[in-house]
Amino acid sequence: MNFEIHFGYLLFLFDWLIRLAALAWIPVRSPPAAARSWLLLVGFVPLFGLPLYLLLGHPWLATQRRQRQALASQLIRDRQASLAMLRWTPAAHGLTSDIARLAERLGDFMPVHGNTVELLDDYATSIDALVADIDAAREEVHLLYYLMFDDVVGRAVCEALQRASGRGVRCRLLLDAVGAKSGLRAFAGPLGNAGVDVRAMLAGGLRWRSLSRMDLRNHRKLALIDRRIGYVGSQNLADAGFVPGHPNRELVARVRGPVLRQIAALFASDWLIETGERLEIGDFPGGEAGRTPAQMLPSGPAYPFENARNLVVALVQRARRRVVLVTPYFVPDDMTLGALRVAALSGIDVQLVLSMSNNQTLTRWAQRSYYDELLRAGVRIALYRPHFLHAKHLSVDDEVALIGSINLDIRSFALNAEAGLLCFDAEVVARLRRIEADYLADARQLELHEWRRRPRWHRSLEGMARLADSLM
C-alpha cells in the first residue's frame, strides 16, 4: 500500500514537472499559435504530449542540410550577378515593384523578362504534354515531385524516362521519400537499371532523426526538359483519382524563357541538399521566348523566413481591387487570417475558392472553423463541387498571379518545401481569371446567415479541430 501511495505521488509530481518544463521551454522554441496548441496537449496528457512535441514540435533540420541550403542560396545569388541583362525592372512604386523586391529578398531569385506561360487546366492534357516533352528531350530531363504513384500516370512517366535514357538523355528524378513511397518502390529499380538517377528526398524510417523533423516534406512539383521547357504547379505524377472519391482538378504552368534558369537552380539546390552533389546549370537558349516577366519563389524550413506565408500576406495587403485565392487546404496562421479580414473590411473584393470535398478529415473540420469570422468581415467563400480542387494559385488585381504548390495552411507555410511561380502580366492574370470564373460557375457561395444554421455539434468539432492547426 505504501508503495502504491508513493508511486502515485511520484507520478503526480512527474506530471506537473512535465507541465512546468513545457511552459518554460515550448514558448521559446515555437511561434505563439503553435505553442498554445502544444501547451494545451501537454497540459491534458503530459506523458503523451511531451514525446510528441519532441518529435514534431518545431521544424528543425540537421545542420548539414541547413549549410547546404545556405550554400545553394549563395550560389544562386552569385550566379545572378552575371545575368543582370535578364532582370525585369517594374515601375518604381506599386504592387509589382513591392512584390518582386520582397520575393527576391526572400527566395534569392530576381524577376526576369521574356517568358511565355501556358496554363494547363485539364489533368490529362497536362500529363500528356509532360510525357510528350520528355519524349522530345535530347539532352536532359529533371523531375522533382512530391507524389508518384504506381498507376497509369506513374507508369507513363516512368516509361518516358526509360525511353529518354535509352536515347542518351541524362535523366534525374527527385521524389519525396514518403509522398512517393509507392512510386519509389515500383519504379526506382527499373529506372535505375535504365540509367535514370533516382533519389529519395527527406528519407523516412530509421534515418529521419539524423536528418530533420520526421514529418517535414518536399512538396514541390517541378520539371525541366532540355533547359527549354519547364513545369510548375500543383499536379503530381499520379492518376487524377488516386484518392478514391476525390478526383483531382489541378493547374500547371508550362513555361519557356529565362525563368527556366531559376527552375534549374531550384532543382540543383534540392539535389545538392539531398545528395551533396553540385550540378552544373549549363547554358540556356538565348533570346526571349515571350513577354511575361516572371520569378520563382522557393519556400521551406531551411530558409530563415516563412517565404510563402510572407509573400501571400504581402499580396493580400497590397491588393487594391480584387484578390482571388484558390487552395485545397485552408488552415491559416494569425497573420494570414488578419490580412484577409483587413483587406475585405477595407473594401477589397476578397474571394476564397475551396473544395467542397476534402481528402483530409481533420483539415476539413479545422478550415470550417474560420468561415464565420471571414464571412462577417466580407470575405466571399465559394465551395467548388465537381471535383477535389487541388489547384493552388492566387491572383491580385490585374497585375500579379502566383501559381505553384503552396497551400494556405500552416504546414505549407512552415514545414514543407514549396515552389511558386510569380507572373507580372495582365494577360496571364486574365487567363487565370477565366479559370477562376469556371470554378465559381460550379461552386456554392456561402452566405453567413445560412452558414450559421449548421448544427451546434459541427461548431464544437470545428473548434476542437482548429486547436490542432499547428499539428496538421
Residue 359 maps to which CATH number?
3.30.870.10
Residues 47 and 70 in one domain: no
Residues 152, 196: one domain?
Answer: yes
Say if strands 400-404 and 170-176 run parallel, antiparallel, or are unpaired. Answer: unpaired
Task: Give pLDDT tens digits for 306-329.
Answer: 999 999 999 999 999 999 999 999
Nearest to 418 by CA among 297, 315, 238, 310: 297
| The three cell numbers locating residue 454 | 449548421
Label residue 292 by pLDDT band (50, 70, 90): very high
Residue 172 sits in the same domain as residue 226: yes
Flag whether 107 is in a domain: no
Q: What is the 3-state secondary structure (H, E, C) of 415-455?
A: CEEEEEEEECCHHHHHHHHHHHHHHHHCEEECCHHHHCCCC
Which of the four pLDDT bands, split at 50, 70 and 90, describes residue 285?
Answer: confident
CA 246: distance to chain centroid? 19
- Of the chain, the percentage scoring pLDDT greater than 70 comes to 91
pLDDT given for residue 93 in this prediction = 79
Q: Which residues contact 241 (CB under 8 A, 6 or more apart)?
A: 247, 248
Residue 335 shares a structural domain with residue 464: yes
Q: Cell numbers 527556366 label which residue?
A: 260
Residue-level pLDDT at 276: 87
Instruction: Say what the pLDDT of residue 57 is.
Output: 66
Res 209 pLDDT > 60: no
State whether 48 and 72 are in the same domain. no
Residues 322 and 271 in one domain: no
Backbone angles phi, psi at 180, to 5 degrees: -105, 30
Calpha distance 206→258 (Å, rounded): 41
Do both 126 and 41 map to the same domain? no
- The answer as to whether 313 is a domain residue is yes
68 exposure class (CB count in 10 Å sphere: 0-12, 13-18, 19+) = buried
Mean pLDDT (whole number) for 217-241: 96
Same domain as 69, residue 28: no
Same domain, 286 and 158: yes
Q: How would you class 195 by CB atoms within 10 Å of its CB: exposed for 0-12, middle for 13-18, buried for 19 or more?
A: middle
CA distance 121 to 131: 16
Cβ(331)–Cβ(37) below 8 Å: no
Cβ atoms 286, 85 nearer than 8 A: no
Q: Tell me, yes or no, whether 333 lies in a domain.
A: yes
Grid cell, residue 404, equals: 505553384
Q: With contact defined as beta carbons under 8 Å apart, do 414 and 306 qualify?
A: yes
- Return the half-sphere exposure (C-beta side, CA atoms, 13 A cut-off) of residue 162: 14
And the C-alpha cell for 125? 492534357
Task: State the pLDDT confidence band at 470, using cuts at 50, 70 and 90.
Answer: low
User: Is 424 within a domain?
Assistant: yes
CA angle at residue 106 from 103 to 108, to 5 degrees? 85
- Residues 258, 203 share a domain: yes
Residues with Cβ < 8 Å from 129, sequence gap 6 or more? 120, 254
Same domain, 211 and 349: no
Element (H, E) at 313: helix 307-318
439, 395, 392: which is closest to 420 by C-alpha? 392
The one-letter code for the residue type at 62 is: A
Does 279 share its domain with 180? yes
Instruction: Count CB-CB contacts under 10 A for residue 443.
Output: 21
**Is 74 domain-assigned?**
yes
Q: Which domain holds residue 255?
A: 63-90+115-292
Condensed to tens digits (0 to 9), the pLDDT of residues 9-32 reads: 677 787 778 788 777 777 766 777
Residue 268 maps to a domain: yes
- What per-residue confidence (pLDDT) applies to 321? 97
How far is the C-alpha of 431 from the C-alpha of 217, rounded, in Å?
Answer: 31
Question: Measuring CA to CA, which residue among 293, 311, 318, 300 is closest to residue 414?
Answer: 300
- % of the chain with per-residue pLDDT over 90: 66
Last residue in a domain, options 56, 74, 100: 56
- 414 pLDDT band (50/70/90 cuts)? confident
Within-domain flag for 391: yes
pLDDT tens digits along 43-61: 777 777 777 776 666 666 6
* Closest C-alpha among 454, 412, 244, 218 to residue 328: 412
- Domain tally, the chain: 3
Strand-pairing partners, residue 254, are 118, 231
Beta-strand relationship, 416-423 and 170-176: unpaired
Burial of residue 440 (CB within 10 Å: 0-12, 13-18, 19+) is middle
Asked, for residue 298, whether it belongs to a domain, the answer is: no
To which residue does cell 529519395 refer?
Answer: 200
CA–CA dist 321, 343 (Å, integer): 10
**What are the counts of helices (DSSP H) followed by strands (DSSP E) for the chain?**
17, 20
